[in-house]
Structure 1
Amino acid sequence: MTIKFDALDAALLAELARDPRAPILELAQRLGVARNTVQARMKRLEASGAVRGYPPDIDVQAIGFAVHAFLGIELDQNKMDPIIETLRGFPHVLEVHATTGRADLLVRIAAQSQQDLLEIIQRVHAIDGVNHTETMLALATPIGYRSLPLVEHLTNRTIP
């Protein structure tokens, strides 16, 4: 669901990105609006699905998963759903994207070691319907997942 998005929404999201545990009253004070305004905006953003939740942003490398890879998977098209469900059960799988091009799925994986990564890839190869994989190791992540620059662009507002 697409919603109308304005500068106040962008500012609210920027504040929540900086401090996801900030109380509503404090957010209202920072933004210079009424508490009810912040509460209504948050409810609207959550109900629309634009804000999916407030989980901690965990650095998986800091908890021992230093090897990051992207796995392109070519598969039997009629087996895509069961393959995705199997991948959902792999704790090392951080995300899966259905893609165009040679690979049908692009899978982001975190592993503790190269040996650990090899074992994960072997488990993926054992899934019925997986025909071929291509592994790309991530050497560094100079730009991690982010959404606030897009929010800024959408509202034509500079977020500090």
Structure 2
Amino acid sequence: MIELDEIDRKLLAALARDATQNASALGRRFGLSQPAAWRRIRRLQDGGAIKGRRLRLNTEALGFGVTVFLGVKLARKGRVSLEDFERAVSAIPEVQTVEHILGLYDYRLRVVARDLADFERVLRRRIMTLPGAGEVEANVLLSEERRPGPLG
């Protein structure tokens, strides 16, 4: 685990809100020079506190108005490897995330679709035909609020 001071926590919270901020702007904001801010960010990356920076697309603006969380229980755990299921489900473009979880279901998927009819098509033709796919529970996302995380 990496040691964090107050400025490190502020840098992480600021980057979690907007990862496009550069070291110069962050340094000015937190009373650091650009090189000092850059060194801190680099140390946080090298230490594993920052895994990467991602672009968040507005799926609704791109024509995908429905987001569904699917709980998937594998039908026969011993006959299909988890890796085979993960590889197959990850190849479906509408599946945004694949999470192997502990609980009632084996996997939680985040799926986007143009509308409910499109989601039904993806579910029937792509997800339910995957190797080992068994029980499925769907939860339609009504609204989403971005949380800054444990440091913000």
When the two structures are superposed, what TM-score results if normalisation uses the length of structure 1?
Answer: 0.82
Percentage of matched positions with identical amino acids: 27
Please state how far the C-alpha of 1:46 moved relative to its aligned partner. 1.4
Q: What is the distance in 2 between the residues matched to 1:43 and 1:130?
A: 42
Q: Is the alpha carbon distance of 1:48 and 1:87 closer, same or farther for their aligned partners in structure 2, counting shifts above 3 Å?
A: farther
Aligned residues: 148
1:1-160 equivalences in 2 (<5 Å): 2-75=1-74, 76-78=76-78, 79-122=81-124, 123-141=126-144, 143-144=145-146, 146=147, 148-152=148-152
Q: Give the structure with the larger helix fraction.
A: 1
Secondary structure of the 1:49 match is: coil
What letter is aligned with 1:114? L
When the two structures are superposed, what TM-score results if normalisation uses the length of structure 2?
Answer: 0.86
Q: Is the alpha carbon distance of 1:40 and 1:87 closer, same or farther for their aligned partners in structure 2, counting shifts above 3 Å?
A: same
> Can you give the 5+ residue segments of structure 1 that lack an aligned partner in the other structure?
153-160
> Can you give the 5+ residue segments of structure 2 that lack an aligned partner in the other structure?
none
Superposition RMSD on alpha carbons, in Å?
Answer: 1.8
Deviations 1:129-159 (A, max 9, x none): 1122111111222x33x3x34114xxxxxxx
Q: What is the distance in 1 between the residues matched to 2:143 and 2:83?
A: 31
